Amino acid sequence: MNKLMEWLTKSTTMQKQQLATAAESSVPSLRLAAKGYRKEGELDISAEFAARIELAAEGLDVDVELRREHLCKTCSQCPYFLNHKTP
């Protein structure tokens, strides 16, 4: 299970709505992205959308950390991002 799907599974309805609103998205769009709508179950989220999700998830008390390197293959391979991670 990918991190976004795990987060959606463990979060409350209110947390899902808060994440979607803060990420300028919708709960159905987050679910669709979490199901890997283009890559047979693998996440296929843009770097921009991954950043919005990461920032929106901060402060929501769910036992799964949503970091952009877990959400976007491009971010996980980016030399700039890998060299400038915050702890």
86, pLDDT greater than 60: no
Where exactly are the structural domains of the chain?
Answer: 3-83
Residue-wise pLDDT for 21-68, tens only, equals 999 999 999 998 888 766 666 677 899 999 999 999 998 888 888 988
Q: 3-class secondary structure for the chain?
A: CCHHHHHHHHCCHHHHHHHHHHCCCCHHHHHHHHCCCCECCECCCCHHHHHHHHHHHCCCCCCCCCCHHHHCHHHHHCHHHHHCCCC
Residue-wise pLDDT for 1-15, tens only, equals 789 999 999 999 999
Q: What pLDDT is attached to residue 37?
A: 64
Model-level pTM greater than 0.85? no
